[in-house]
Amino acid sequence: MLTNSWRKSSRSYSNGNCVEARHDAATVQMRDSKERGGPVLGFGRDHWQEFLEGVQLGEFDRR
């Protein structure tokens, strides 16, 4: 059960153009802060970890 509240980066501005996240032991969820009642993307923790490693390795950097 996802009991954590939604969080966003401390570097985001207060204009509402942010991505918010929450998690539990098995799932990470993301949503658009402008549409709090809108769609939510869910990822398994393993897939989320793979994504974060890809970000750190620059796999998504524009070339």
What is the per-residue pLDDT across 27-57, written as a single tens digit (0 to 9) for each?
Answer: 999 999 888 889 999 999 999 999 999 999 9
60 DSSP 8-state letter = T
Per 3-state DSSP, the chain is made up of helix, strand and coil in percentages (nearest 5) of: 20, 25, 55
* DSSP string computed for 1-19: ---SPPB--TTS-TTS--E
Residue entry with tokens 């969820």: 29
pTM of the model: 0.73
What does the domain layout of the chain look like in residue ranges? 1-63
* Res 3: pLDDT: 63
